Amino acid sequence: MPGISGAMLVVILLPITYGMETTPVFLLLTGIYAASVFSGMISAVLFRTPGTPEAIATTFDGYPMAKKGHPEKALGLAIVSSVIGGIVGTVFLIGLTPILADFALRFSSPEYFALAVLGLTVVASLSGGDLVKGLIGVLFGLFVATIGIDVMTGANRFTFHSTTLMSGIDFVPILIGLFAISEVLRKSREESKAKGKMKKLSKSLLDLPMLRKVSTTLGRSSIIGVFVGILPGVGATTASLLSYSEAVRWSKHPETFGTGTPEGIAAPESANNSAAMGAMVPLLALGIPGSATTAVILGAFVLHGLQPGPMLFDNEMEMVYSIFAGLIVVNLLILFLAKPFIKLFSYTVKIPYSVLGPYIVVLCVIGTFAVRNSMFDVMIMLIFGLLGFGLEKIRFPIATIILGVVLGGMVEEQFRRSLVAANGDISIFFTRPISAVLLALALLALVFPIVKKAFNRKDQKTITNNNGRHSL
Amino acid sequence: MKANISLAVIVIVFSGFFLIQAVRLPMGSVERIGPGAWPLVILCLMLILGVVLLIKELIKHKKHSGLQMDKTAEAQTEETPIEMEVVYPYKHWIVLAVAAGYVLVLPVIGFIVATPLLMLAAAFVLGLKHIGKLITLSLTSSLVFNYIFIVLLSVPLPRGAGIFRSLSIFVY
């Protein structure tokens, strides 16, 4: 549904999970995560409005194909591509996560600190091209995480003698405010009418000869998706755009792209679903989020008293494997339930925002209140809602604030613990090989976009200079 | 562009204010870092980035005014909002006021009474004008919320005070 992203859906469903056992909670949340990536393509194909950012590339060829009079073919292909991508992604997730987690068992404080720093560098991709603003967002989040009683010394930090602030500002009100309330405020300024009309889909959604034609693209894009997804900070949106451009590059008829070619639907749809599963690898194995939605899921783990990372495999093995099995089932269910789901979708699109908005507001209030039974938290949520609304208006990357708040406690605590263990010798972070490599990777992740931008500018200058000379 | 300059100023003032608070906290030693050191580093970096953003925007501003860029073009490139079509530019304040009002009256009149009122007010503000639909929405949604969160999930939602408390105890 346009306007409700996977991250927001996970956020508004959090209150329902409070009273539940942990395994069903994470089956539900990861299932929603997988299904939301898939469902973004429906409105992308039918209305040229990507339901989620991951489905942007699907509009390029999905909408033209639907417009040509083959919406069922476009949807069918997108569904099968999503399922194949999702399953390939989950298989890699099952294979790679335990290996990575096993390796991470050797970690102690310096490595965890380095890992958290690497996690923070996701900012480079969440910043949307404006690294300064992104870094300000992360630092603001890190600062908010310091408010309250210091866990290591018991000192009060920025509490201004308020007993409510002593226990700190909880992560949930910030998350709900920034993602859900800000969206309600933004939508309130628009006309409350449901857009788009659905045509009846009577024909079968599956077209086997077409699938055979795009099988190579499907395989290639799924693999690209997984590996792009695993990289911290490079999410499913990048994966789908990258695999789309790779599909164009490998195609014998690149000129057909953008006019409704099957490869143009298969590539982004398989890649974004496999990348979404790939992004779960660092989340489960190392405890660092690979994207905004996985950052929200990380928050949900913390909320339920669990810390994703290598220890999760020792302590909660049953839950981790239930999640794996659940993801396979979700991906298969997509295949069988897609058609009725699309029918149901045609009704939900018709719900005006004047009905949906109030529901979201009440869910946000309950969701925030229920964590600590605190009205103060609800106020904080509204303040962050207004803040998120204002910041989004000036294109501030709000997900970076979440990143800072989520990783803030870990990065500070592990940094201080490491220095206590090393008697204040700061070289501990660089002499231990794993932490040194992780910090080097973090530096690379932060510097690479800047260098790339500088090179791009240089290239552009050369091109304009050359063009200038030619025109002379 | 103006918005970015304002943002930079807010960041500088914010980090400056909390820096003054942070330096009052114990810093500790390298072996045992005190509670003030980490926030101090964060706020210093924030202050620096605020200044960087300000300088960056001021340079951009100077360049633009130097080129005497057409005002409409500037508005299109810099101030284009993310929204598709803004029809009611101030409505978010009303929605926020309704939500804040709900939060304020919640401890007094309790969840059971406050929620249908919020649903009614919020749906009306967001554009639902049909009285019958408004009443149906507010009542059915309240029933749904009460059933899910109070009966099924036993979330201890605010009961309110006085007569409202008695009413809530009667229900849950």
How much is the ipTM here?
0.87
Dihedrals φ, ψ of A129, to 5°? Answer: 90, -15
Summarize the confidence of residues A354-379 as an average pLDDT: 86
List chain B residues with CB under 8 Å of A366: 145, 149, 155, 157
Chain A neighbours among B 7-46 (CB < 8 Å)?
A: 7, 11, 18, 21-22, 25-26, 28-36, 38-39, 42-43, 45-46
**Whether residues B101 and B72 fall in one domain:** no
Question: Which of A13, A47, A136 should we substitute to test contact with B (largest number of B Cβ atoms within 10 Å)?
Answer: A136
The answer on pLDDT for B75 being more than 50 is no
**Whether residues B12 and B70 fall in one domain:** yes
Summarize the confidence of residues B54-81 as an average pLDDT: 63
Q: Do B29 and A424 make contact, defined as CB atoms within 8 angstroms?
A: yes
The answer on pLDDT for B77 being more than 60 is no
In a domain, B98, yes or no: yes
In a domain, B86, yes or no: no
pLDDT of amino acid B134: 92
The most confident of A159-168, A443-452, B99-108, by mean pLDDT: B99-108
Q: Which residue has the tokens 């284009």?
A: B80
* Start-end of H helices in A189-316: 208-213, 215-230, 236-250, 262-278, 280-286, 292-303, 310-315
pLDDT of amino acid A314: 80
**Whether residues B121 and B144 fall in one domain:** yes
Question: pLDDT exceeding 70 applies to what percent of chain A?
Answer: 89
Residues A137-165, buried b or exposed e (16+ Cβ, 10 A)?
bbbbbbbbbbbbbbebbeebbbbeeeebb
How many beta carbons lie within 10 A of that of residue A24, not counting itself?
14
In a domain, A228, yes or no: yes
Summarize the confidence of residues A169-195 as an average pLDDT: 80
A376: burial class by Cβ within 10 Å (0-12, 13-18, 19+)? middle
Summarize the confidence of residues A388-415 as an average pLDDT: 86
**Whether residues B95 and B70 fall in one domain:** no
Residue B164 lies in domain: 91-171
The most confident of A77-81, A143-147, B83-87, by mean pLDDT: A143-147
**Whether residues B71 and B47 fall in one domain:** yes
In a domain, B83, yes or no: no
* Start-end of H helices in chain B: 2-23, 37-67, 71-78, 91-125, 131-145, 163-171
Between A83 and A41, whose confidence is greater?
A: A83
Q: What six digits make up the tokens of A16?
A: 């329902």
d(CA A284, CA A277): 11
Summarize the confidence of residues A216-244 as an average pLDDT: 82
* Amino acid, single-letter form, for residue A80: V
In a domain, A472, yes or no: no
List chain B residues with CB under 8 Å of A189: 83, 86-89, 91-92
**Whether residues B13 and B49 fall in one domain:** yes
The answer on pLDDT for A267 being more than 50 is yes
* Mean pLDDT, chain A, whole residue set: 82
* DSSP annotation string for A8-35: HHHHHHHHHHTTS-HHHHHHHHHHHHHH
Question: Which of B5, B19, B38 should we substitute to test contact with A (largest number of A Cβ atoms within 10 Å)?
Answer: B38
**Whether residues B55 and B98 fall in one domain:** no
d(CA A65, CA A299): 39
Helices (H) and strands (E) counted in chain A, each on its own, are 23, 2
Summarize the confidence of residues A128-139 as an average pLDDT: 86
Number of domains in chain B: 2
Number of domains in chain A: 1
pLDDT of amino acid A200: 57
In a domain, A411, yes or no: yes
The answer on pLDDT for A448 being more than 90 is no
Split at pLDDT 50, 70, 90, the class of B72 is: very low
**Whether residues B97 and B72 fall in one domain:** no
For A145, A150, A435, B95, the CA distances from A142, given in Å and listed in that order, are: 5, 14, 21, 30
In a domain, B51, yes or no: yes
The answer on pLDDT for A82 being more than 70 is yes
In a domain, B149, yes or no: yes
pLDDT of amino acid B49: 95
Summarize the confidence of residues A342-354 as an average pLDDT: 74
In a domain, B104, yes or no: yes
Between B159 and A446, whose confidence is greater?
A: B159
pLDDT of amino acid A459: 65
The answer on pLDDT for B73 being more than 60 is no
Query: If you ran DSSP here, which 8-state letter would residue A261 be given?
Result: -
The pTM (predicted TM-score) of the whole model is 0.77
Q: Tell me the angle at which helices A292-303 and A6-17 cross, rounded to the nearest 10 degrees.
A: 10
For A192, A384, B124, the CA distances from A186, given in Å and listed in that order, are: 12, 14, 16
How many beta carbons lie within 10 A of that of residue A196, not counting itself?
13
Which of B35, B149, B155 lies closest to A157 in CB terms? B35
The answer on pLDDT for A407 being more than 50 is yes
Split at pLDDT 50, 70, 90, the class of B81 is: very low
Residue A348 lies in domain: 6-467
Split at pLDDT 50, 70, 90, the class of B83 is: very low
In a domain, A65, yes or no: yes
The answer on pLDDT for A471 being more than 70 is no
List chain B residues with CB under 8 Å of A136: 11, 46, 49-50, 53
CB pairs under 8 A between A and B: 179
d(CA B38, CA B33): 8
pLDDT of amino acid A125: 65
The answer on pLDDT for B18 being more than 90 is yes
In a domain, B9, yes or no: yes
* Mean pLDDT, chain B, whole residue set: 84
Which of B21, B30, B84 lies closest to A424 in CB terms? B30
Secondary structure of residue A149 in the 3-state scheme: strand
d(CA B15, CA B22): 10
Q: Tell me the angle at which helices B91-125 and A353-372 cross, rounded to the nearest 10 degrees.
A: 100
The answer on pLDDT for B14 being more than 90 is yes
User: Are the C-beta atoms of B31 and A417 separated by less than 8 Å?
Assistant: no
pLDDT of amino acid A34: 84
**Whether residues B119 and B153 fall in one domain:** yes
User: Are the C-beta atoms of A357 and A177 separated by less than 8 Å?
Assistant: no
